[in-house]
Amino acid sequence: MAKKKTKKSPSGDGYGNTIESEPLTFRKAYLEWENKCKGISAKEIQSEGRKGVRSVPPNLFEQIQEHVTAAFRRPESSNDGTKGAYVLIDDIIKALKDDKLFLENERDNLEKFQKDMGVFLKANSKLNPSNIEFNRPETYDVVNGKVVNESEDTITIYGHYVDKYFIDKYPKKKYKVMPSWSSRNKNESNPPYKQALFGGGDLLGEGEGLLDVIELALKELDEKAIELYTIGIKRASALARLPSVQSWVRRNIKKKQFYPSNSGKINLRQIGEALLTQEFPIKNDIEQRMVTIAATNKDIEFAQKIERFKVGRISNQVMATLIREVISRGKEENIRVKNGYYLQLRGLSDPPSETWKEIKKSWMQHLWA
């Protein structure tokens, strides 16, 4: 016996329709990540800008957004601002914060981010925050609190620029050396930018990086289907392409319960109410696309699979349009109802006569005459 699915609290798709599915948690995880990064000030990460240059963003989140762009990159940086975390993050933040259902192209962006983060972590990659370079004089002296006699020969540190030389050079900053943030070797340091992207460190714990949020999002989008999608019909022609809808409409427009006893004029309100009670399975990607177009009037593709849908509201006008669209896709031009009359609906071709009964009656009268 199939396990009965527990109904979930409905939520919106962002287009005026409702969904029932297991809640997605990745958006909450993203907001927690963003708020945590916003709560880590530029002073805490010891990155408050340079004298003579406009101030850098005030917190870790905004600095990640502006990571290595032309306005904020260091003079020695080999990155011109067209690569790095800035470009990748800027593409996905809006989707992660949006209340609308996730789209397939937005999911593709998450996969690209995940893949590119692997490139970031490759040994010796210049995109890796662990490998951001800073040059220092190999030797120098401190006299009366000032750095003097800086050698022309330099050494390179990686990750973060605050080392003993920086503290000696700029004592008014009152910074302190964070041993894990910089290193004399590539691929070893764990500066704030890296912690924000990958988690694991003194600022963000293990599993708290943006990449962890992205991986959670991809997992949930793949595993948590939309169990029931309740729609308003914005494009009846798209819905009429579904075989299950066609079958239901063709079957029900012949039922005499939706007609007066002496007419072929269908009661659109009654058949519309009957449609609202039906749930239809979605069998493949093409059907899901048609339902999505019908519900949103947009040619979009949701990232989650939709299992079933139903119509939540329908006007007489839309019901009439749906009937006409279904009939136009079939072989029967004139629909004979089980009360003996032909379906009469504006926009359909005229039946052979008002009713087949009247045809028979007039013929018999003619014969008797």
Predicted pLDDT of residue 66: 78
Long-range contacts at 169-173 (CB < 8 A, ≥ 24 apart):
171/145, 173/46, 173/48
pLDDT of 138 > 90? The answer is yes
Predicted pLDDT of residue 29: 97
pLDDT of 368 > 70? The answer is no
CA–CA dist 178, 157 (Å, integer): 13
Q: Which of 260, 190, 221, 32 is closest to 114 using CA atoms? A: 221
Predicted pLDDT of residue 10: 76
Long-range contacts at 250-253 (CB < 8 A, ≥ 24 apart):
250/326, 250/327, 250/330, 250/332, 250/335, 253/323, 253/327, 253/335, 253/337, 253/343
pLDDT level of residue 308 (50, 70, 90 thresholds) = very high
Average pLDDT over residues 215-220: 97
CA–CA dist 108, 112 (Å, integer): 6
Q: What is the pLDDT of residues 72-131, one digit of tens each?
A: 344 555 555 555 555 567 778 889 988 889 999 999 989 988 888 887 788 888 878 899
Query: Which residues make Cβ contacts (< 8 Å) with residue 310, sequence separation at least 6?
Result: 228, 229, 230, 231, 276, 278, 279, 280
Average pLDDT over residues 53-81: 66
Predicted pLDDT of residue 240: 98
Contact 291, 304 (CB under 8 A): no
Predicted pLDDT of residue 289: 97
Average pLDDT over residues 19-31: 95
